[in-house]
Structure 1
Amino acid sequence: MSGGGERPELEQVPETALWTLWHRALEARRPDAVLHDPEAVELVDRIDFPFAERFGASGVQGQLQALRVACFDREVADFLAREPRGTVVCLGDGLETQYWRVDNGRAHWLSVDLPESVALREKLLPPGPRQRYLAADATDLDAWADEVDRDQAVLISAQGLLMYLPPARVRSLIAGCAERFPGGSLVLDAVPRWFGRLASAGRIRGRGYQVPPMPWAMDADERDKLRTASPAVVAVRDVRPTGGRGLLGALLPLAMTVPPLASRRLSVTVLDFAERTGQA
């Protein structure tokens, strides 16, 4: 399926924005979908791109993607319930439609992404009055951190981003966020090490698509090591998917708890940062 409008031309890693958009829309079209995302469905219909030919149309992959995305949605929704006027900073946002799924009408949103991705996002998903898009390297905090209102609570989301970065840049980004946003949190996802090795070797491919290299990977039982990025990381929490459908839904609880699957799975993790101490 392809739409009849904008024809995006993206490099290998930014193109993953189209991959994730397609699988969210595939799942959202189902009457028994685990993720309600009409904006993604409408967006796919508008974009002139051979989605099915390039990415395939796996119902299992669509559901897995939706369950991962729902973990992020749940964390953002919980944050906004606690901090209704807080700021959500989305790093490497691509064509994510989370704002339309969980916005509370009062929060502020900042999307930070590469210039070509921001240009496409501005064309296809024009920002509302409480949304800002910033063309910058998400790993360069000097380029975006000062754009965030420090008087309000901050949640930073790095969804589908860190696996494409070298490990040293991942560590630096976590440390920088922890030290610049006291009292804030970062929610991130990681592929397991076996998947990262296969991706980096070019061995994960579909009908017309090859997954880009993934230099950074982390098994789920390694999440506590993220504390070592900075003393300002004071808590680490696993976020587990819920509400799966069919056989996948039945097997998911086992995959979360039974070794070795429990450690060798894609993981979503929340890092909480220490409050500021001493004089500001």
Structure 2
Amino acid sequence: MSSGERPELGAVPETALWTLWYRAVAARRPDAVLRDPKAVELVERIDHAFADRFGTSGLQAQLQALRVGCFDREVADFLAREPRGTVVCLGDGLETQYWRVDNGRARWLTVDLPELVALREQLLPPGPRQRYLAADATALGWAEEVDRHHGVLVTAQGLLMYLPPMRVRALIAGCAERFPGGSLVLDAVPRWFSRLTLTGRMRSHAYQAPPMPWAMDADERGKLRTASPAVAAVRDVRPLGGRGPVGALLPLALTVPPFSTRRPSVVALEFAAR
């Protein structure tokens, strides 16, 4: 630990530290599947017993890195199509994606809880093309702050599983109707995982995962289209690469039931043009 910042966060906001830690664990490896020097830097600055609290699982770190890589590819592809587009990051926590994939021209808007925005402003001061907004992501008031002129991509990474299902559906519909021609990238835990969190049986080292009331098995992603007629298409975003046994088994996990249908998933939703 360093003698730097010491964050005090509630149960769900603490997940920002968990994801930051495992990105850093993954990125420290010489054969890393995710390069994230900013995450490594933050872990060294923050006064927190990361290893004692969250453990040091190499498997967990690699799986986290592969999930993050799915979001990075989607954002990079969007910025290749819309170099001056806007990336809206809901529930960004201490995510360092901006420093991994920014193209030097895009605009970035982070929307998160006040305590996390305050911590982010302290640890990751925004640059001239970044803005942090302390707001309830599900209230959709933030949508009025978004520049729509050059395309919009919304990300909800590690957020929706902590919301009631009806609020998830309303958020998807709200984004689809407010950003015609835009897109949303989200992730979901499978139903078996959600049940473990709801009964307090999902522990990792000294860390108790918060309840995750919203879940979706991978083969259910088509149902997301029913949130709004403005959701034009839904597609699976699959992790690429992997190291060692994870890399060898990943193709099977993605294609062979029941693993392929009961796995965590990253999904991209495309919105109809007005």
Match for residue 140 of structure 2?
Answer: 141
Matches of 1:4 and 1:266, distance apart in 2: 36
What root-mean-square deviation, in Å, do the aligned CA atoms of Structure 1 and Structure 2 show?
0.5
Match for residue 255 of structure 2?
Answer: 257
CA drift of 1:207 comes to 2.1
Matches of 1:24 and 1:213, distance apart in 2: 22
Match for residue 7 of structure 1?
Answer: 6
CA drift of 1:120 comes to 0.2
Q: Which residue of 199, 202, 218 maps to 2:197?
A: 199
CA drift of 1:150 comes to 1.7
Match for residue 152 of structure 1?
Answer: 150
Match for residue 215 of structure 1?
Answer: 213
Matches of 1:72 and 1:211, distance apart in 2: 22
TM-score by length of 2: 0.99
Match for residue 62 of structure 2?
Answer: 63
Matches of 2:48 and 2:161, distance apart in 1: 25
Question: What SS class does the counterpart of residue 139 from structure 1 fall into?
Answer: helix
Q: Which runs of 5+ in 2 are unaligned?
A: none
Matched AA of 1:42: E
Question: What SS class does the counterpart of residue 157 from structure 1 fall into?
Answer: strand
CA drift of 1:118 comes to 0.2
Query: Conserved in 2, the CA contact under 8 Å of 1:17 and 1:94?
Result: yes
Match for residue 223 of structure 2?
Answer: 225
Match for residue 104 of structure 1?
Answer: 103
Percentage of pairs with the same residue: 80
Match for residue 72 of structure 2?
Answer: 73
Q: Which runs of 5+ in 1 are unaligned?
A: none
Match for residue 246 of structure 1?
Answer: 244
Q: Deviations along 1:90-110, whole A, 9 cap, x unmatched?
A: 000000000000000000000
Question: What SS class does the counterpart of residue 88 from structure 2 fall into?
Answer: strand
Matches of 2:208 and 2:18, distance apart in 1: 11
**Structure 1 stretches of 4+ moved >3 Å:** none
Matches of 1:84 and 1:150, distance apart in 2: 13
Match for residue 41 of structure 1?
Answer: 40
CA drift of 1:4 comes to 2.0
Q: Deviations along 1:197-249, whole A, 9 cap, x unmatched?
A: 00111101122110000000000000000000000000001000011000011
Number of equivalences: 274
